[in-house]
């Protein structure tokens, strides 16, 4: 297997093995190869802890199916014929990832190896609208991305779709989302029927964790959490090198854990949720009260937040107080994640990471203080502001994972 740093730069997908492995060897070999970018058969045998003969047989099967191909590996000068390596046949097919928000939807097209082909952005027409209206925008965005790639829907094999809210990934249903007027919305089935392609859906925070697991800092790490702070507060969790969604697939709703009994009203309808103190709408609400902003005259929520941030940077006591209180509540949430899951790393990401008060030294020190009292060491905390397109890349990884499972999982290649 290539050096970890080399693979991080060239491959796509998790680099570390799953502790309890039940998938067929052909699927594990293929995914290891995609993660490495390219590898020899001998390295794959060592990596998968199986016989060279098994790797040879399985790789021949994958080559015959057109999913894998042989390439010349780099060699030292004057050593004769270059050794042969294997790599994923990127041209086999492509998948798309779409991330829906109440501001601007994003989409990417990636090939079978995970490499980016094209991306597109479409402004959302409304803060909250029907599922039909939202999916009309999603369909238009998908076609925009395909047009940029010079492709049609027939070029795709799968589409991943992400949305904020409580999402039943297995059933393909959105139980509740701040973007939709309906509850229990059959998003997967409806979108698949509209575009004529298989669709898989998930909560947007899970997509960000997938993006880290497939493309980012989580590729070489077995246990980590991603906490997202944008229009809400979400969390994606990777345990044992796999996404963890809970017993019914609806877990990791960090934003809706309670930090204050009978506290501030959350957009989910409950009181005292973490996001009711940390998310952008919570900061806007506080700004309207503390700074006497007129919401009707202050422009968009984003503009109002930028004004609040500028005031805090200038030393405005009320503005500073709003961010400091949000930071303290965030520290409580991160300490609870540490106590519950003991991750190696917590990655904080999302649009609000441009507001550095939320991850100031005082906030990180409070996480340390809250966890040190139990005798444990707090995990490393990193800030990652990838930009809007990373969510769509996570959705594309979700689609690529589903496609790989279909092609190489329970059924034989080509069967």
28 and 145 both lie in a single domain: no
- Is pLDDT above 70 for 299? no
Let me know if residue 414 belongs to a domain. no
- Is pLDDT above 60 for 298? no
237-252: pLDDT as tens digits:
999 888 898 888 778 8
pLDDT at 368: 86
Contact indicator for 136, 177 with CB cutoff of 8 Å = no
Let me know if residue 307 belongs to a domain. yes
Question: How large is the average pLDDT for residues 281-308?
Answer: 76
Strand pairing report for 199-203 and 156-163? parallel
Question: How large is the average pLDDT for residues 124-153?
Answer: 94
Q: Mean pLDDT for the chain?
A: 87
pLDDT at 297: 62
253 and 291 both lie in a single domain: yes
97 and 37 both lie in a single domain: no
Comparing 385 with 151, the larger pLDDT belongs to 151
Question: How large is the average pLDDT for residues 161-168?
Answer: 93
- Is pLDDT above 60 for 41? yes
Count the Cβ atoms, other than its own, within 10 Å of residue 56. Answer: 14
Let me know if residue 415 belongs to a domain. no
pLDDT at 303: 78
Let me know if residue 413 belongs to a domain. no
- Is pLDDT above 70 for 20? no
340 and 363 both lie in a single domain: yes
201 and 237 both lie in a single domain: no
The domain tally of the chain equals 3
Place of tokens 């700074």: 291
- Is pLDDT above 90 for 253? no
Q: What angle do the packed helices 52-64 and 41-48 form, to 10 degrees?
A: 120
DSSP-assigned letter for residue 217: G
How far, in Å, CA of 334 to CA of 233, rounded?
11
304-353: pLDDT as tens digits:
888 888 888 889 899 889 989 999 999 999 999 998 999 989 998 876 66
Under the banding of pLDDT at 50, 70 and 90, the label for residue 296 is: low
Contact indicator for 350, 205 with CB cutoff of 8 Å = no
362 and 273 both lie in a single domain: yes
Comparing 156 with 6, the larger pLDDT belongs to 156
pLDDT at 319: 87
Q: Residue 118 to residues 101, 106, 110: CA-CA distances in angstroms? A: 19, 11, 7
198 and 119 both lie in a single domain: yes
Comparing 54 with 363, the larger pLDDT belongs to 54
- Is pLDDT above 90 for 222? no
Which among 64, 91, 118 is the end of a domain?
A: 91
pLDDT at 133: 95
Contact indicator for 352, 255 with CB cutoff of 8 Å = no
170-190: pLDDT as tens digits:
999 999 998 999 999 999 999
72-105: pLDDT as tens digits:
876 655 555 567 899 999 999 999 999 998 888 9
238 and 375 both lie in a single domain: yes
pLDDT at 209: 93
87 and 49 both lie in a single domain: yes
pLDDT at 387: 72
- Is pLDDT above 60 for 5? no
Q: What is the CATH number of the domain that holds 33?
A: 1.10.10.10
pLDDT at 411: 47
Which among 53, 73, 91 is the end of a domain?
A: 91
% residues pLDDT > 70 (the chain): 90
Return the bridge partners of 119, or none: 108
DSSP-assigned letter for residue 378: P
Read off the pTM.
0.86
Comparing 296 with 115, the larger pLDDT belongs to 115
pLDDT at 124: 87
How far, in Å, CA of 308 to CA of 49, rounded?
56
Question: How large is the average pLDDT for residues 99-125?
Answer: 94
Residues 6 or more apart from 249 whose CB is under 8 A from it? 168, 169, 170, 171
pLDDT at 386: 66
Count the Cβ atoms, other than its own, within 10 Å of residue 19. Answer: 10
**Domain span at residue 312?**
219-386
263 and 340 both lie in a single domain: yes
55 and 137 both lie in a single domain: no
């Amino acid at each position: 297997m290539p050096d970890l740093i080399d693979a991080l730069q060239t491959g796509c997908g998790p680099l570390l093995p799953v502790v309890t492995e039940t998938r067929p060897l052909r699927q594990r070999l293929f995914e290891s190869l995609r993660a490495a970018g390219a590898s020899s058969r001998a390295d794959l045998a060592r990596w998968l802890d199986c016989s060279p003969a098994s790797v040879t047989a399985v790789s021949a099967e994958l080559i015959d199916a057109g999913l894998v191909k042989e390439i010349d590996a780099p060699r030292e000068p004057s050593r004769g014929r270059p050794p042969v390596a294997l790599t994923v046949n990127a041209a086999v097919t492509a998948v798309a990832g779409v991330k829906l928000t109440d501001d601007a939807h994003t989409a990417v097209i990636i090939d079978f190896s995970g490499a980016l082909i094209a991306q597109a952005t479409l402004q959302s027409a409304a803060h909250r609208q029907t599922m039909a209206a939202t999916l009309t925008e999603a369909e238009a965005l998908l076609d925009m991305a395909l047009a940029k790639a010079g492709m049609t829907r027939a070029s795709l094999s799968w589409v991943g779709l992400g949305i904020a809210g409580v999402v039943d990934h297995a059933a393909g249903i959105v139980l509740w989302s701040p973007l939709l007027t309906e509850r229990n919305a059959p998003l997967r089935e409806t979108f698949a029927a509209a575009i004529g392609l298989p669709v898989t859906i998930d909560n947007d925070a899970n997509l960000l964790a997938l993006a880290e697991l497939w493309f980012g800092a989580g590729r070489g790490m077995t246990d980590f959490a991603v906490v997202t702070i944008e229009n809400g507060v979400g969390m994606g969790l990777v345990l044992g090198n796999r996404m963890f969604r809970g017993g019914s697939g609806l877990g990791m709703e960090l934003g809706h854990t309670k930090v204050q009994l009978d506290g501030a009203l959350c957009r989910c309808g409950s009181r005292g949720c973490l996001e009711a103190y940390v998310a952008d709408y919570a900061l806007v609400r506080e700004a309207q009260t503390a700074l006497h902003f007129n919401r009707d005259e202050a422009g968009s929520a984003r503009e109002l937040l930028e004004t609040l941030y500028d005031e805090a940077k200038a030393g405005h006591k009320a503005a500073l107080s709003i961010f400091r209180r949000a930071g303290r509540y965030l520290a409580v949430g991160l300490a609870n994640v540490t106590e519950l899951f003991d991750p190696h790393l917590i990655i904080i990401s999302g649009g609000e990471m441009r507001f550095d008060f939320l991850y100031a030294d005082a906030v990180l020190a409070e996480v340390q203080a809250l966890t040190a009292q139990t005798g444990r060491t707090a995990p490393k905390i990193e800030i990652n502001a990838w930009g809007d397109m990373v969510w769509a890349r996570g959705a594309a990884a979700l689609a690529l994972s589903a496609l790989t499972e279909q092609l190489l999982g329970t059924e034989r290649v080509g069967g």
